[in-house]
Structures are given as C-alpha cells and as structure tokens.
A and B are shown apart, each in its own frame.
Chain A
C-alpha cells in the first residue's frame, strides 16, 4: 500500500489493517510523517512534530505485536495533540511567547492515557494563544490554514488539531473546548469534534484558560473513531477534583445501535437571524434525515441562549485573568531581559510575553472581578449560566437531543475578523451555551457550501449522555457521505499559488 493511499483512512481501518498484519505501525507513521513533511508547510497545523518519538513508539508497538504481547486500544495509531496539553519532557507552549521554551516535567492525564493506549503521539498542534480565539490566528508563532481553502481560517482555538485531521496528518487529534474550541473548528474543517460533559475527561495537565468551562475532547473523521478516542480519554481522575466518578461506557460498542423513538429538538432561535443561508439549509436537510429515520422532530426554544456570549465573555476572562497570573517570569517561562525592579519585571515580562487577545481578556476579566463591579458582572454572569442550564434542563424534558448549526458561517477568510474582536466572538454563538451549561456536544459534517466549504451540524445531549450523543450522530452519519470527503491539498496548494 502506498503512503498516500494510507492517509485519510480512519483509525479503526488502520487498527484493522495493523491487527491483520497488512501493515506495520512504522509504515503507518512514516506515511503520515511524509504527508506532514509534504504539506504542513502550507497548512501549518503543527508547532512541533516529534518524528523520532513517533517512529520509536511505532517500532515498539510493532515489536510488542510481534511478540504477541497485549496492546492498547490505539496501538500504532498516530494522534495529534493540541499544544495546550502538557507532555513530559516535550515543549508545551500554548502558542504563547511566555511559554515558548517551557518543558513540563509531567504528562497531562489525557496524554498519559493516550500513551497507555499505545497511541503514537505525532506532534503538538497550533492553537490560539492560551486557547483564546476562534480562528487560530492568535497563535504567537504561525497561522494555520484551512485544508479546504488555504486562504481561510480553520476555526479555533483548536484549529491546528482540526486542520491536522482534515489535512490527513493524523486520523485522530485532541483539542480543548472552552466556548466551542473543538466543535467550531471541526465544523469549519469538515471533521467530527466532540466536547464531553464537564467532568467527563480529566483536566489535569490541560493548561487552564477558563477552568469551569474547559473540557478536552476528540477530533476524528467520523463518529465511530470519535467514540473510540473518547473511550480512551474519559474517566475519573484523582488528580482532578472536578472530574466525575462515573463509569465510562464502551461508546464504540453501542455506537451503531440506532435510538428507538428518538426525539430531536431543533432550536428555533438558531435557525432564524444571523445564520448563513447555506448553513441553515444544510441543517434543515439534516433535520429531514432524522425525520426520514422516524425520529420525532419538534421545535424547541432556548430563550436565554442569546445571553450566552455576554455571560461567557465575563466568566471565561474572569477565570483566565486569575489562571494566567502565574506567568510572571519568576519561576519558569519567559522573563523580560531588562527590568528595573520586581514590578517592572512583572510588567515587561507580561507585556512582551502575551499577545493582544490574551491581554484584552486578562483586562476584561480583571475588571469584571474588581470590587464594585463583581456583582454587576461576574455574579450576574453566574446567574445567566444558571438560567441557560435551566433552559437546557427544560428542553431535555421534551427531547433526547438538540440539533442546530455549529457555527453561523462556514470558514471565514484569514484576517477577516481579526480587527473586530466582537465579530470573532460571535463565531461561538451556538457553542458557548453548552460550556456554560456543562453539557455534551458534538459537531459533525452535514454538507458543503457552493464554494466547497464544509458545514457542521451540532448535536447536544444532557450531561453524561455522550453515548446517546454518539448514537444519534451515527444514525445521521450512516445516512450520509459527508464524512467520507477529504480535502484535496494538492489542489488547494495549486489554487493558492495560482491566486498568488
């Protein structure tokens, strides 16, 4: 099998071929490394490619397989990891100057679980600095491009991970989702991305942006691979007090089972104003697929979801202002070269080390938590969080899952929204509510625009109902072919050079 015919397949297809001895883990990782070598100069999904480590791990898997030793559920499968998860002995930057040379002496729990599952960690992916952004343009180091159109953004903040899967640099990737940072780039890059329930996956070793909203989740080409990866990373962790002690179902084992008498709620507010007509059409078509499958479809309302963005932009920056206080040049990370005294060292280090969006959010959050403003902003935002959760609780009394668009638009042009933070913030208008409510959500491909840009369908389920979420998503996926399409990078590169 040639390298180019290997990449673009799913992790389960790879696992099958590896198990049958049709190829080795080394051959597989080599194929992906070649693909990265050939195209990542154009896509720029990776901040770090660990070719040596990946080949070494693949060789180890091959040897152990040859000796007949038991292997983990991801044995030999390359996985790309967002550079917000700590990897022991390997640079973890959060795409920030302030952590440019930071090497953690510990693995994030999710990274440890991937290693224990015998995954091949192929590299660390680009992101918006400290996961703050919706286009990955806030990276201090490079601009990641959307594999479907290199002039467009991959979405963000996990744009590097979404683009890595869409560009066939790895069949699986890990991202983090604070306000939509997995689902939105998944939609814009035409892959599947899942944000688990808050507490389903350990946050230990995930560099915190907004601790009460952050969740780690999987990217993949389809729902079955997503189920496979979620199973590996989910579960209670004694190192994370907010992770929940509930058993993890075998998501993959049941994903093919359709849900009998499924009740689907379509959010009225999300298909009226502000949504791109092509996106609205694709979502309505998806609704029709569920109806055809015999699901009971009804309109529902989430009346307070319109307050999601304002509440999110209080809560998340407030927590971020505190979480990012530790980057001060004293103990580790970047320190300004010249300074007068301690205060000056703090100021210069942070002024030089952080990018504009991070500074903006630190200021927003500091302001929101200040005496005299706390009640009007932070406390009010917490109340909004509560009513948004109550909206969902009420909705889930009527329906099993909620569906709607993931993002109001398909992939936008690079630079298009950079000058106007508010327009960028609105990219997450349909996704933030799931974080504020702590529920589970998934985005999966549901069509393409006339320009060939992917469109994402968002499905939401109640807390800890990832199994229901995956089964409902798979019901739709089985009826469609969108998840089989792959971006043609050769053509995308040619298109750019022609235009240039």
Chain B
C-alpha cells in the first residue's frame, strides 16, 4: 500500500465546469428581481413562468457583467454571438427549454493564472465562457408528499465557465476555484457563494497511469454534488485513489466504458455512482428564434476593459513592488476585495513606510471589521485620517500603544487624531534627559530589581529589564518612546550592576 508521501505512478487530470450567478438587479430575460432567499415564487412574472406567448428580452447589464468576466479570464470575445435553446423536460424549467449558448458562445479560449505550490504560477486554460438562464428549484417533500417548485431562480443569469483539463492535483483544482472566486468577487461579477449556490462546480477527472513504460488514460468520470471548495479537493483526492484502485483491478481504459457520473457524498466522504451515459444527452439545440444575435462592438469592449481596470493578479504584484510590502500581505489585501485594496492604497500613500499601512490594515483594521461585521465601505475612519494617525507614529510623535487608544476613539467618535492626542496628552516623551531622569528615579526606588538582575541569567535577566521598562511606561502613562526607553534602561542596569545584559 502506497503511503501519501510516496510518489504515485500516475498523473491526475482534472477539468472543471463552473456555474456562477451574476450580480444583476434583474433576471436575464425579464424584469423580475434576481435575489436569493425571498419567499418561494415571489420574484416571478409571465416571462420567467414560461406562459404562452410571452417573449424574452435580453438584460444588457447581465451581458456586460458576463463580458467583464470573460475579458478578465483573458478570453477571445466573439463579435457576433447568438442564443440557442437547450431542450429537456424538467419541472424546474417552465418552458422545458433553457435559453443558453451552443455553437457561438460569446467568449472562448482564455486562461486563468493560478499560484503553484513551489511559488510559481500556472495557466489553467478556459475553453469557453457562455451566458445562460438558470432553472428554478424543486423542493422535494418528505416521503409520500408532492414535490413543489420555486421559480424565483428561474431565468436568473448564469455564467458557465469550462476549463481545459489542466489541473493535475486536487489542490490545484481548489486553488483554481479560489483564484476564480477572487477574480469574480473583485470584479463584482458574482459573490461566488457555494453554500448559497451562486457558484456551482462539477469536475471531470481521470488518471494518466505509467504502466510498463507507457501512459494509459483511465475512463473520465464526472463528479457532481460538491458543495464547498474543500469538498472539491476531497472528492478529487478520493476519486483519484478510487480510479487507481479500479484500474489496478480492472485495467479499464478511456473509451472502453461509457462515461460515468458520480456524486460526492459529503458524510461518507466517498463518490457514489449515479449513472452511466450510453451516449451524450440529445438536447436538440437550435437557434433561439425569439432573440436577436448580439453584436459586440469595439466600443462595448473598451467600456468593459475600462471598468475592469487592473486585474487582481496584476494588482497583487504591483502592490508588492510599488509599496515594498511582503507578497503575502499584498495577496491578502487583494483577496479582501477591490474596495479593501483601494483603501490600503489611499492609506499607504499618506505614510513614510507603506509596510505600516499593511500591518495596520491586516491587524487593527481587519480585527475591527471582523468584530463589528463591517465591510471596508462601512468602516467609519477614512484612509487619510488613519494615515494622519499612523504617520504620527512614524514621526515619533506618539507611540504605537497610544496610537491604538486614539484609533479606538476615532472609530467611536470619528474625530481627528490630532485633537484626540492633544486632549488626552498622548504626545510621546522622547527627550533623552527627561527619560534618563525617570529611569534613575525608578531604579532608586526599586533596589530589589538590581538584585534580581544580578542573580538571574539569560532570558530571566532580560525579563527583569522588561519589567523595568513597564514601570517607566506606567510612570509616563504609556507615552514614552519605547525604543529609547529600552536603550536607557539597558544602559542603566548594566552600569549599576556591572553584569552584562545576557
């Protein structure tokens, strides 16, 4: 039995089919609200109910959002694209056909760059991105009861993204989804919430097994029912092991058996066979005669490109380079969204050392947002004000301890840092003579400290120095220049006891 650390005698090949719901106000072909969580069948009209004689009218905003996503995925944009009907019967599909795109999707042949484990990047190819309408939801009753249909989701805009089989590990599949989510959230195309179903993912997976010096491909399996990124990773890992064991047992190769669909069982952490397709379903696609083809002009594309501005991956690199912050910090800042990154940049521009901005953003600001449940847009302190505060630390006007006190009051009252500092007398004490006098006074009053310093060794001796610094800070109400205090205390202790610091 191979252990997980041993190299496997096969390569995993994974392609993903991802559906994301677009963040539009209204549905794709009617004026109904596009919103999750409303009471069943409240966001419906004759058009999305598929009543006789009604006609679809394309939502321009949805098409623009779709274009934005495709451009960001480096896709070729078709200048002429049309709609097709995908015919199949199901009660959540009121017309019994779905308006989708078949042979002329609005975009194709793109890629998404994802970071690799070794610190590099890898391109995952995108075969096509197309726009289609979503179906409603069946609410299955308990045994014996009747099923019900909620058509609030019917006709909402859905983007289908099909990747090339370019991912070679479960972790890569997960990373791809994380990068895709970052991109689409950053661009405000979709909120990509797998639990709410605004991002859904199916995977095609097989193995290329090294056998007697040859590469053998195992049958491709489609895996469904994965409800989180973690589930995708786990299902892919399980499925790779299962396929390898099956190959060892049966030796079945790609093309020898009909394509199988398996569902991920989250509780048992296994995939379960659902069906084998003898042949591809016949959806009887044909051009949708109720809609006119869409012609994408250069002007439309320009507009979309200008809306996108900078891609998150680019921005990550630029933030690191331009502000000299660690790549890790840049990555986290961009992942927190466009608005968060915008805040960071405005904040950092007001500082001597932008690293202080990323520290404050990722610690104090982020902690506050989490505690209050705010987005950065709801954060009451404007970046210029925060820069005003933190630049005072840089100018040694106040120390970090005092700055945190001011920060807390700025969040509460929204007042300027200067006023708070003046009122509370928080200006830093950094006069060397003044501090030296305080150090001497404290040591005079605490002779036991000198005894301890002499007796103790190593770390313990340093702790004594720390204790003395604490006394000084208390004496100065936390306003003393911490670095200066440290030097003065160390010097005094060494001088008075005659033993070195360590």
Q: Could you tell me which A residues sit within 8 Å of B by CB distance?
A: 84-86, 92, 94, 99, 102, 104-106, 108, 203-208, 210-212, 238-242, 318-319, 321-322, 325-326, 328, 330-332, 342, 346, 366, 369-371, 374, 378
CB-contact partner of B282 in A85, A94, A319, A370, under 8 A? A370
A102 partner residues in chain B, CB cutoff 8 A: 52
Tell me the complex Cα distance, A369–B86, Å: 11
**Across-interface contacts of A238 in B (CB, < 8 A):** 57
Q: How far is the CA of A204 from the CA of B54 in the complex (A)?
A: 6
A369, B95: Cβ atoms closer than 8 Å: no
Contacts of A94 in B (CB 8 A): 52
**Alpha-carbon distance between A102 and B49 when the two chains are bound, in angstroms:** 14
**B89 contacts the other chain (Cβ, under 8 Å)?**
yes
Known contacts being A326-B96, A371-B280, is A241 close to B55, with CB within 8 Å? yes
How distant is A362 from chain B, measured CB to nearest CB, in Å?
11
B58 contacts partner chain A, Cβ-Cβ < 8 Å: yes
Shortest beta-carbon distance, B80 to chain A, in Å? 16
Interface pairs A-B: 7 shortest CB-CB = A325-B96, A211-B289, A212-B289, A369-B284, A207-B52, A207-B53, A205-B53
- Pick the contact of B53: A86, A332, A346, A374 (CB < 8 A): A86
Which B residues are CB-close (under 8 A) to A328?
A: 89, 91, 96
Within the complex, the shortest CB–CB distance from B54 to chain A, in Å, comes to: 7
A344 to chain B minimum Cβ distance, whole angstroms, is 12
Smallest CB-CB separation from B29: which chain A residue?
Answer: A241
Within 8 Å of chain A (Cβ to Cβ): is B292?
yes
CB <8 Å contact, B57 and A208: no
> Which residue from chain A places its CB closest to the CB of B58 in the assembled complex?
A241
Chain A hits for B285, CB < 8 A: 369
Alpha-carbon gap, A105 to B54, bound state (A): 11
B360 in contact (CB, < 8 A): no
B82, chain A: closest CB distance, angstroms: 12
State in angstroms the CA–CA spacing of A494 and B286 once bound together: 52
Known interface pairs A325-B89, A328-B89, A330-B91; A206-B53 also in contact (CB < 8 Å): yes
By CB atoms of chain A within 10 A, which of B95, B96, B280 has the most?
B96
Q: Point out which of B50, B89, B91, B290 has the most chain A C-beta atoms below 10 A from its C-beta.
A: B290
Q: Which residues from chain A contact B51 at a C-beta distance below 8 Å?
A: 104-106, 332
> Whose C-beta in chain A lies nearest to the C-beta of B283?
A371
Additional pairs, 6, CB under 8 Å, beyond known A92-B53, A330-B149: A203-B53, A207-B52, A241-B292, A326-B52, A369-B87, A374-B284
Complex Cα distance, B291 from A462, in Å, reads 23
CA distance A371 to B96 in the complex (A): 18
Cβ of A93 to closest chain B Cβ, rounded Å: 10
Q: A212-B289, A326-B95 are in contact. Are A204 and B55 (CB under 8 A)?
A: yes
The residue in chain A whose Cβ has the minimal distance to the Cβ of B87 is: A322
Which residue of chain B is the closest to A331 with respect to CB atoms?
B94
How far is it, in angstroms, between the C-alpha of A239 and the C-alpha of B31 when the chains are bound? 11
Instruction: List, sorted by A's number, 7 A–B pairs whose CB atoms are closer than 8 Å.
Output: A84-B53, A205-B54, A207-B52, A241-B292, A242-B290, A322-B97, A328-B91
| A residues near B149, Cβ cutoff 8 Å | 330-331
How would residues 33 to 75 of chain B score, 1 for a CB under 8 Å from any chain A CB and 0 otherwise?
0000000000000100111111111100000000000000000
The CA-CA distance from A207 to B46 in the complex, in Å, is 13
Alpha-carbon distance between A207 and B282 when the two chains are bound, in angstroms: 26
**Chain B residues, Cβ within 8 Å of A239:** 55, 57
A241 adjacent to B52 (CB under 8 Å): no
Contact present for B55 and A240 (CB under 8 Å): yes
Contact B292 A325 (CB under 8 A): no
Instruction: State the CA gap A212–B289 with chains docked (Å).
Output: 5
Total chain B interface residues with beta-carbon distance under 8 A: 29
Interchain CB contact under 8 A, A242 and B53:
no
Beta-carbon contact of B53 and A85 below 8 Å: yes
- The docked-state distance in angstroms from the alpha carbon of A204 to that of B284 is 25
What residue in chain A is nearest B97 (Cβ atoms)? A322
Q: Which residues of A contact B85 (CB under 8 A)?
A: 322
Tell me the bound Cα distance from A240 to B85 in angstroms: 17
In Å, the complex CA distance between A99 and B284 comes to: 25
The answer to whether residues A331 and B50 also contact, given A241-B290, A346-B89, A371-B280 and a CB cut-off of 8 A, is yes
Complex formed: what's the CA distance from A208 to B91 in Å? 20
Whether the pair B53, A208 counts as a contact (CB closer than 8 A) is yes
- Once the chains bind, are B284 and A366 in contact (CB under 8 Å)? yes
The number of A-B residue pairs with CB atoms under 8 Å apart is 100
Chain B contacts for A208, CB-based, 8 A:
52-53, 290
Q: For residue A99, which residue of chain B has the nearest CB?
A: B52
Which B residues contact A (CB, under 8 angstroms)?
46, 49-58, 85, 87, 89, 91, 94-97, 149, 280, 282, 284-286, 289-292
A330-B149, A378-B286 known; A86+B87 contact, CB < 8 A: no
Pair B52/A86 contact, Cβ less than 8 Å: yes
Is the beta-carbon distance between B290 and A211 smaller than 8 angstroms? yes
List A contacts of B284 (CB < 8 A): 321-322, 366, 369-371, 374
Nearest Cβ on chain A to B153's Cβ, whole angstroms: 15
Within the complex, the shortest CB–CB distance from A234 to chain B, in Å, comes to: 17
Shortest B89–chain A CB gap in Å is 6
CB pair A106–B54 under 8 Å, yes or no, is: yes
Task: Report the minimal beta-carbon distance from A364 to chain B, rounded to whole angstroms.
Answer: 13
Give min CB distance, A207 to chain B, whole Å: 4
Q: B87, A325: Cβ atoms under 8 Å?
A: yes
Residues of chain B contacted by A371 (CB below 8 angstroms): 280, 282, 284
* B237 CB to nearest A CB, Å: 35
Q: Is the CB of A104 within 8 A of B53?
A: yes
B85: nearest chain-A partner, CB-CB: A322
CB distance from B376 to the nearest CB of A (A): 39
How far is B49's CA from A85's CA once the two chains are assembled, in angstroms? 18
Closest Cβ neighbor of A86 among chain B residues = B53
Q: Which A residue sits closest to B56, measured CB to CB? A: A241
Q: Which of B49, B57, B289, B290 has the most CB of A within 10 A?
A: B289
Q: Which residue of B has the minimal Cβ distance to A319?
A: B289
Q: Give CA–CA (A369, B288) in the complex, Å.
A: 13
Contacts of A319 in B (CB 8 A): 286, 289
Instruction: Report the bound CA distance from A330 to B148 in whole Å.
Output: 10
List B contacts of A369 (CB < 8 A).
Answer: 87, 284-286
In angstroms, how far is the closest chain A Cβ from the Cβ of B61?
15
Q: State the Cβ distance, B27 to closest chain A Cβ, in Å.
A: 15
Chain A residue with minimal CB distance to B91? Answer: A330
Contact of A325 among B46, B97, B280, B291 (CB under 8 A): B97
Contacts of A211 in B (CB 8 A): 289-290
CB proximity of A330 to chain B, nearest CB, Å: 5
Given A242-B289, A325-B95, do A108 and B282 touch, yes or no (CB 8 Å)? no
Give Cα A205–Cα B149 distance, bound, in whole angstroms: 24
Say how far B278's CB is from chain A's closest CB, in angstroms. 13
Q: Which residues of B contact A240 (CB under 8 A)?
A: 55, 57
The closest CB in chain A to the CB of B86 belongs to A322
**Bound CA–CA A86/B53 (angstroms):** 7
Instruction: Check A241/B96 contact, CB under 8 A, given A322-B87, A326-B52.
Output: no
Nearest Cβ on chain B to A343's Cβ, whole angstroms: 8
Which chain A residues border B292 with CB–CB below 8 Å? 241-242
Contact, CB under 8 Å: B55 / A106: no
Residues of A within 8 A of B280 (CB): 371
B286 near A326 with CB under 8 A, answer no
CB distance from B221 to the nearest CB of A (A): 23
Of chain B, the residue at the smallest CB distance from A367 is B284
In the bound complex, CA of A204 to CA of B52 (Å) = 10
Whether B46 contacts A104 by the Cβ 8 Å rule is: yes
Q: In the bound complex, what is the Cα–Cα distance between A496 and B35 (angstroms)?
A: 63
- Separation in Å of the B272 CB from the closest CB of chain A? 23
- Please name all residues of chain A whose beta carbon is closer than 8 Å to the beta carbon of B289 when the two chains form the complex: 210-212, 242, 319
Residues in B with CB closer than 8 Å to A104 are 46, 51-53
- B50, A241: Cβ atoms closer than 8 Å: no
Bound form: Cα–Cα A211–B149 in Å: 27
Residues of B within 8 A of A106 (CB): 46, 51, 54
Chain A residues, CB < 8 A from B282: 370-371
| Identity of the chain A residue whose Cβ is nearest the Cβ of B281 in the assembled complex | A371
Closest to A130 in B: B52
Residues of A within 8 A of B46 (CB): 104-106
Least Cβ distance of A461 to chain B in Å? Answer: 23
